[in-house]
Amino acid sequence: MALPWYKEGLRFACTGCGKCCTGAPGVVWVSEEEISQIAQHLQVEVEKFRKRYVRVVEGRLSLKEYPVTWDCIFLKEGKKCSIYEVRPKQCRTYPWWASNLESPEAWKRAAAECEGIRSDGPLFTKEEIERECTSRSGCNDESKC
């Protein structure tokens, strides 16, 4: 099996800019465990949290988005994540998604949107990248992660 194009690793450092949390309609999948963790962090009962912040998309649980802007419901003033410490695994594993790792061109497209994909961030090894990519919660098909 051929080694992936990123066999020498890739550099990334999250700047907390919030750009990955904005834009066209999307989904942020959340597990029951993540819902509990975020609710606890916000000091809200789980059921209240569910009603206020969670929706069902294609039979799965996702965080809500603001209508019109499609920003994540937890993206607050200054485009900062208000639950960064307990954000869902989908958010924690960005940009290590299969769609961003398909090719150097896909990585460059992601870099155009994400200022953290830059040459001076820490180097992540091939093994670290693949571990993050395949750890996405609720993803049974890595090609859709």
At residue 133 the predicted structure's pLDDT band, cuts being 50, 70 and 90, is: confident
Using one digit for the tens of pLDDT, what is the confidence trace for 15-39? Answer: 888 888 887 788 899 999 999 999 9
pLDDT of residue 144: 41
pLDDT higher than 60, residue 141: no
Phi, psi torsion values for 71, nearest 5 degrees: -70, 150
pLDDT higher than 80, residue 1: no
12: DSSP letter: -
pLDDT of residue 143: 40
Query: Whole-angstrom Cα distance, residue 142 to residue 55?
Result: 23
pLDDT higher than 60, residue 8: yes
Using one digit for the tens of pLDDT, what is the confidence trace for 65-102? Answer: 998 888 999 998 778 899 999 999 999 999 999 999 99
124 near 12, Cβ under 8 Å?
yes
Lowest mean pLDDT: which of 15-24, 36-45, 56-65, 123-132?
15-24
Element containing residue 62 per DSSP (H, E): strand 60-63
pLDDT of residue 111: 93
> What does the mean pLDDT of the chain come to?
88
64-68 long-range contacts (CB < 8 A, ≥24 apart) are: 65/25, 65/26
pTM of this prediction exceeds 0.75: yes
**Domain boundaries, given as residue ranges, for the chain:** 10-140
Distance set, CA 123 to CA 10, 99, 119 (Å): 5, 20, 9
